Chains A and B, each alone.
Chain A
Amino acid sequence: MSDTLKVPTMAELFAAGQQPEVLFWVGCAGSFDDRAKKITKAFVKILNKANVSFAVLGTEESCTGDPAKRSGNEFLFQMQAVTNIEVMNAYEVKKVVTACPHCFNTLKNEYPGLGGNYEVVHHTQFLKQLLEEGRISMEGGQYKGKRITFHDPCYLGRANNVYEAPRELIKKLDAELVEMKNCKKKGLCCGAGGAQMFKEPENGSKDVNIERTEQALETQPEIIAAGCPFCNTMMTDGVKNKEKESSIAVMDIAELIATAEDL
């Protein structure tokens, strides 16, 4: 177990005249939310192990503006975007990896029109690439044969057609990937998107995350895998609501890999 995480900032590298291979965009949840911070750290552990040259923006990072845009505040979104783009362009960022599909979508699709052109990948895509390049190795170990179901984040799946990277990683863990009745293109939202995360739901018969958790439970999983900090929260709450938290874990793909590798 390595104790200290190596988390260089862009500012430090820039001062030393270095340019990292990739910028790790941590995102607000990854920076501040207690559950999501664990995902951030798990991902960094893998990056450290694989000796990936990366850096974060640290205190120079700011919200991408996704929740503002989805709430209808286009002005606030664009203010956030141009501020972030200014910072990233100053560091001559070429490639960005993020563990948040909302950041991923916004950076990849909505920043170019405002002057921010980067190659943006989701961490599951990045991890898959590391694996293919032999920079990390994966042995299933403790996940061998475990039933894992994957919840497609809307902003990774339908929004950007990334369905396979997370699934391939799960399979590489020798786990048994079990699909929910609504998966991939037909995946059901966890209920957090479109800024719902930050407000009370409208009146209805049920919360969306409960509906989705029920679908997940139908597959009788030991682990519900997610690729988004917000989905993670929603599914964790759903599992708690069903009083299944002692038997079913909700884990990010990065966490699965980090624990499999005993990092």
Chain B
Amino acid sequence: MTYLPNILFAIIFVTAIVFFSKNVMRLRRNIKLGKDVDVSDNKSQRWKNMAKIALGQTKMVVRPIAGLLHIIVYVGFVIINIEVLEIVIDGVFGTHRIGLNVLGASVYGFLIGAFEILAVLVLVSVIVFWIRRNIIKLKRFLSNEMTGWPKSDGNIILYFEVVLMCLFLIMNAADSSFQGLDTGNLISQHIVPWFNSMSPESLHFVERTAWWLHIVGILIFLNYLYYSKHLHILLAFPNTYYGKLVPKGQFKNSDAVTREVKLMMDPEADPFAAPAEDAPEAEKFGASDVADLSWVQLLNAYTCTECGRCTSECPANQTGKKLSPRKIMMDTRDRLEEVSKVIDANNGSFVDDGKQLLGDYISHEELWACTSCNACVEACPVSIDPLSIIMDMRQYLVMEQSAAPSDLNNMMGNIENNGAPWPFNQMDRLNWAQEQ
């Protein structure tokens, strides 16, 4: 009987880890649906970017209030989770506060004291976050795409953190042997009086309950990540590592197009030659669905925190156009999740479900409203590039569907015929030099 809690704990723990691993595998599979891109270059710069942007949160503090609060929650959350290590060991081996034995009272007390202070700071920050979202109603949390699940998700994460932090403090407060040490109970000692009237048995029961709820809560939270924008706590690291290194204005040149252009410019090539037997199938230009995007773009989609910094800087969005770069990222992820479900339902292979990213999620109107100004890219705290997806989808519209707005077709016709976007003759290009 005495081993029952240990066994129960082990079962819960292993189940949670297995479930989490399954979702990690699914995540990996989905991201790999994207086209391959070579990002093996410039490793040192990539590590630096990751250290600066993800670990150092340099982009977060561009907005100082949100940035500071976020750093507190982030640091607090990471550090307090060191405590989870102890909880897991205690849970499996039936020990109690193993850290105390290993580290000695003074070090242990220092650590737990630091955790307690952080827990309070996290609590305060999370409450401010909640107020910003629900009472002050900051504009960037109110857009069309932020209704329904994304709105609830934002709040659920905050509730989770409040509950976990409270449980941590209650667990410490109700632990009479820990309180007896009188070190490290900086905050929890002030909660102890709440339990004064309790019998030692009830107090122990409170402590055990808080302990169990705390660890089960953390395991549930871990498994909640995959379904939530909170996934960014893991993916921000690879995403900033794989972020764009070249100047923001440099858009990639399509290799497939380069091959075609070379062929056209080659005087030796016979334009009427029948394609060779073994010629590869004609490549699809641009993107109409998630599998046409690169895996980095799909990783971007899973990393998006839905913070809306991109959208709030977007000139098109600011002037009432339908375009919202955040929605572009959320749509890409939602469509990818839909594709993932289709794959799961069909034994691992994708079967056309009659839907695609273009049209069913992202409209032409959104795509054509973009000025390619890079404000969204600059604003994103985790190096996401919504603009690259917009450009790939425009490329599909123009090169595969000839579906550009008519003004743009005229412009492109002019470039083709006169070498300028307006109907002027190339031979008149130097006339300005003679005009006074």
Measuring CB to CB, which residues of chain A are less than 8 angstroms from any residue of chain B? 3, 5, 7, 9, 26, 28, 30-33, 37, 40-41, 44, 56, 58-59, 61-63, 65, 67-76, 78-80, 82, 105, 108-110, 113-114, 154-155, 158-161, 185-186, 188-189, 191-208, 210-212
Contacts and interface: CB of A to CB of B under 8 A. Distances in A.
B374 A32 contact: no
A69 B387 CA distance: 13
Interface of B: 246-251, 253-254, 257-258, 260-262, 264-265, 285-286, 313, 315-316, 318-323, 365, 368-375, 377-378, 391, 393-399, 404-405, 407-408, 410-412, 415-416, 419-422, 424, 426-433, 435-436
B272 to A, nearest CB: 19
B319 A7 contact: no
Contacts of B426: 59, 62
A199 B407 contact: yes
Q: In this complex, which of A3, A72, A108, A200 has the most chain B Cβ atoms within 10 angstroms of its Cβ?
A: A72
A193 B372 contact: yes
Contact of A82 (B250, B265, B286): B265
Given A62-B419, A192-B371, A198-B421, A161 B247 contact: yes
Given A63-B415, A71-B404, A211-B315, A189 B249 contact: no
Nearest to B285: A74
B23 to A, nearest CB: 35
Contact of A204 (B258, B320, B394): B320
Contacts of A158: 248-249, 373-375, 377-378
Contact of B415 (A32, A68, A193): A68
Given A75-B261, A154-B373, A211-B319, A105 B250 contact: yes
Contact of A72 (B247, B315, B371, B398): B398
A180 to B, nearest CB: 13
A159 B315 CA distance: 15
B396 A74 contact: no
Contacts of A7: 430, 433
A79 B258 CA distance: 9
Contact of B408 (A9, A26, A71): A71
A76 to B, nearest CB: 6
Contacts of A80: 415, 419
Q: In this complex, which of B396, B397, B426 has the most chain A Cβ atoms within 10 angstroms of its Cβ?
A: B426
A192 B323 CA distance: 16
A28 B422 CA distance: 8
A208 B371 contact: yes
A107 B253 CA distance: 13
Given A193-B371, A204-B319, 14 more contacts: A7-B433, A26-B432, A31-B429, A62-B426, A67-B415, A69-B251, A71-B398, A71-B408, A72-B398, A110-B253, A114-B253, A154-B375, A203-B321, A208-B318
Nearest to B379: A186
Contacts of A9: 430
Contacts of A210: 319
